[in-house]
Structure 1
């Protein structure tokens, strides 16, 4: 077991600048195929 690379996770987030401020959009796709042994 282990945690995903921090940079890898950060790459799945998109930062968008708008009039109301900064919006962080999560583009991570979760798949129910995690293998836990």
Structure 2
């Protein structure tokens, strides 16, 4: 299952998770500072 659709799906979910983690860390950083 090495199709382009699968790779795009993995990239999409990776971007979503990275964005949520980044927003969480930035909110925590703003709350601490």
- Say whether the fold is shared (TM-score over 0.5): no
* Greater relative CO (CA pairs within 8 A, separation 6+): 1
Which structure features the higher share of strand residues? 1
Which structure features the higher share of helix residues? 2
TM-score normalised over the length of structure 2: 0.26
